Structure 1
């Protein structure tokens, strides 16, 4: 018997098939084959059509069933992971009224800042564990202010994963973890933050019904079955945002455990039972997948928007054929890239930099000595230094990392990137070959609460290697301090 996992990203949709007994991944299909477009009607905006997501999910699911020759009745549950902080607004018929305003869209920054100031920093930090900032609640307020007729016709406001679950099951619901990522949840009162909604003038009935993260959240309808190829009645047993789900995929559930990802954006996600909000303007605090009133597990999320997208930009604009070639070029250059420094923050406002939008900065290039190899090294180091800078922020917020686990994505496959981080934080980094879709499929088993078996499956199937600190610590530290100095100068001037 098997479970199916979806991972709704901003670049692609992945679907994974996992064998229940062993936890082994049998197949992972990605759609579309070319990265999905982000629509940008104005500078700093980012939108996607929710029904494009659904089209790719249906195509990928049918392809997976065909390639594996698995019968739909052999699939016993579906799990969903999705891009966080997005907003999908539907009418009473469940039809989206506009494109989704996705995670990296910056249009609501000023709305969130104003709310933080007027409601009070202490109240927001202690009740929401965050500033309202540029999250889903603030995006919904933007729609109310700027598209009032559309807002009047709104029936429910959903996160991207809620919309996919609705398309599968016909039921509109959400989770506490999801509400916390949208900044709709009051951690002191353990309920929807009605006072924030009142301030924004948002009707509480726009918020979907709440279900548990690991629970029977609905069953695939006849329409959902026809469009995906799955069996009608198959239960949806799990749903979480991509970063909590990535942590789950890496067996990160307890205080001191840290998950790191290096995709289009980079993330350091640390688990704590400490409700410290010292860095709430730079670090997000969300209910983790195993959060409960008697088991307060908070995920402290630090995001670096300008991460993998920086390396991808170089891939697209240098005369190179692959990331592997770029990594090989970078390895020819010494630590510090002979003075070339890249600040990789070119993917919108950076929350860890107080929502400043610096753009990419390439500094100290000497046209007589520097080559594309130096740019590759400086980019890898610059992104790695951004991670280290973020980990330093987390330390000031009370995080004491005991173990750091990362997925085997493009950045962490680079020895330069991983060794740079391991050396500067003086800690091994464990690498696992897994994906969010595989994690979402396995998470269906946690419907029964067996965390021990879940963790064993991850170790048995996914562990690859660990990167250890380099003996060249002095050189890495010197390069980092020069990079950090350039960052601080740039921040001061912006």
Structure 2
């Protein structure tokens, strides 16, 4: 084990608390993890217990420290990431008044519609389009309107990251990353948009937010003595302001300069990139002022279903591949990938729309649905598997084309997540979008990103860019193939035309199904 100092990063996700200890070069030393439970008291609602959060975090820190063997005094700094738009109401004794309303909770759809109807200039952050009920402001407004006693007794309305920083330090502060990306804070225009909040009668909501908005990596305070004793750490260890989990993941991939974009893969795709100028479009979120790096702007987009579609096909329709995989002692995905490699670019005319759970970007269309067209009797499971992955890559390219329309041209996509292990899939991304795809040595992007912020807070590195230079290391790069890119251009165009041709039919059919087949035809 390398000599200290060491950094402790906390990744506070939906499923649990993950703690990582890293050296100053970004090498992981140990991890600890504890799962949270998630409750759904009503359809569309999702809640968690902050007391359970804390118990799990303490156990995860203790587990990581025990595994690492690092003395408490060698931990030079601490920082964190957390889910965003996970809203809490805290009383004047800093006790939560109700369970946390989770980011995925959509009970505040009415409030979101009213916010969108203001057409306030601050709505540039969502391209002056639909406001998501997942965002923080609609949830805070829901508490005011539906739980007036809770709101009256709440001294603070805060996000999960604010709560965690307060528990660690005793100080109330807000991260500019949370404030800008989920609550419309814009430093370029003076901070929170009071006119928007007033327009929906949320001025008193704004008064309950933590007022001290800090940059990522800024020291909020030292670790409280009682917390240090509980966790087995050193009192006074500097705690640095943290980020939204996906944004910390982008930092952990080294996305700290304009023109770079993180492609965080899994059951869905999240894309986070940096620009030098503010750009806005209905097809993506942002650009958020100073959200990650002071003087830069951050854009975000996503695809709702990507890896989940691949898993759906494998689990529901790939029985022959599964049988062959069992005979050979390999994974079903390995067999499907072999079959897909034998299929030409464009899958012999088979095109898939990846809107199996609606479209997040660039259309923000929850009623869009998946589609597969061009089928013939010559198509095989290998064709379908390849066409699904190609369709996902076409969806990513659709988002990139939207961004290019605002003069943002990503020069490099840095990728993490399960699908990043597929050479075929990643080569397709590179070829379809004509952009190199890079991979980093540490796949634990969020917790590494938090450790990088801890390093800045500890004074080990002067800024996030330097921390990235020292702690993020490229493991390899896939270059695009120019000839295949030209072949794919035709199929991407057909993919784009498919949505506009089918959108109305999708909407009519989905409404018909949603109403039990009684209306919407």
The answer for unaligned runs of 5 or more in structure 2 is: 508-521
Task: Name which of 7, 19, 37 aligns with 1:3.
Answer: 7
Query: What CA deviation, in whole Å up to 9, does each residue of 1:148-184 have, x standing for no partner?
Result: 3333332222222222222222333212222111224
1:285 Cα deviation (Å)? Answer: 2.4
C-alpha separation between the residues in 2 aligned to 1:341 and 1:104?
Answer: 30
C-alpha separation between the residues in 1 aligned to 2:234 and 2:33?
Answer: 21
Q: Which is further off, 83-92 or 332-341?
A: 332-341
Partner of 1:193: 193
Partner of 1:54: 54
1:458 Cα deviation (Å)? Answer: 3.7
Task: Name which of 9, 26, 36 aligns with 1:23.
Answer: 26
Specify whether residues 398 and 100 from structure 1 end up closer, same or farther in structure 2 by C-alpha distance, changes over 3 A only: farther
SS at 1:386 equivalent: helix
Q: CA RMSD in A?
A: 3.2
C-alpha separation between the residues in 2 aligned to 1:193 and 1:165?
Answer: 24
Partner of 1:228: 231
Partner of 2:285: 283
Partner of 2:516: none
Partner of 1:330: 337
On the 8 A contact 1:307/1:344 being kept in 2, the answer is: yes
1:130 Cα deviation (Å)? Answer: 6.0
On the 8 A contact 1:106/1:348 being kept in 2, the answer is: no
C-alpha separation between the residues in 1 aligned to 2:138 and 2:390?
Answer: 34
SS at 2:337 equivalent: helix
1:64 Cα deviation (Å)? Answer: 0.9
C-alpha separation between the residues in 1 aligned to 2:136 and 2:464?
Answer: 31
Partner of 2:297: 298
Specify whether residues 46 and 452 from structure 1 end up closer, same or farther in structure 2 by C-alpha distance, changes over 3 A only: closer
TM-score by length of 2: 0.81
Specify whether residues 281 and 14 from structure 1 end up closer, same or farther in structure 2 by C-alpha distance, changes over 3 A only: same
SS at 2:362 equivalent: helix
Q: Does 1:403 align with 2:412?
A: yes
Q: Does 1:242 align with 2:245?
A: yes
1:290 Cα deviation (Å)? Answer: 4.7
Partner of 2:95: 95
1:324 Cα deviation (Å)? Answer: 5.6
Query: What CA deviation, in whole Å up to 9, does each residue of 1:207-256 have, x standing for no partner?
Result: 01323322221222234234433233222123111233222222222222
1:32-181 equivalences under 5 Å are 32=35, 38-120=38-120, 123-125=121-123, 133-134=131-132, 135-181=135-181
TM-score by length of 1: 0.85
On the 8 A contact 1:78/1:444 being kept in 2, the answer is: yes
Partner of 1:473: 485
C-alpha separation between the residues in 1 aligned to 2:394 and 2:278?
Answer: 27
Q: Does 1:454 align with 2:470?
A: no
SS at 2:395 equivalent: helix
Query: What CA deviation, in whole Å up to 9, does each residue of 1:315-363 have, x standing for no partner?
Result: 6656669996325413312244566554444456625323424355566
Count of aligned pairs? 480
Q: Which is further off, 178-187 or 416-425?
A: 178-187
1:47 Cα deviation (Å)? Answer: 3.8
Specify whether residues 19 and 117 from structure 1 end up closer, same or farther in structure 2 by C-alpha distance, changes over 3 A only: same
Specify whether residues 71 and 345 from structure 1 end up closer, same or farther in structure 2 by C-alpha distance, changes over 3 A only: farther
1:83 Cα deviation (Å)? Answer: 2.1
Larger Rg: 2
Q: Which is further off, 184-193 or 361-370?
A: 361-370
Specify whether residues 97 and 487 from structure 1 end up closer, same or farther in structure 2 by C-alpha distance, changes over 3 A only: farther
SS at 1:17 equivalent: strand
On the 8 A contact 2:78/2:454 being kept in 1, the answer is: yes
Specify whether residues 87 and 433 from structure 1 end up closer, same or farther in structure 2 by C-alpha distance, changes over 3 A only: farther
1:272 Cα deviation (Å)? Answer: 1.4
On the 8 A contact 1:18/1:442 being kept in 2, the answer is: no
C-alpha separation between the residues in 1 aligned to 2:97 and 2:10?
Answer: 24
Specify whether residues 467 and 48 from structure 1 end up closer, same or farther in structure 2 by C-alpha distance, changes over 3 A only: farther
1:140 Cα deviation (Å)? Answer: 1.4
1:370-385 equivalences under 5 Å are 370-371=380-381, 376-385=385-394
C-alpha separation between the residues in 2 aligned to 1:154 and 1:388?
Answer: 45
Q: Which is further off, 95-104 or 388-397?
A: 95-104
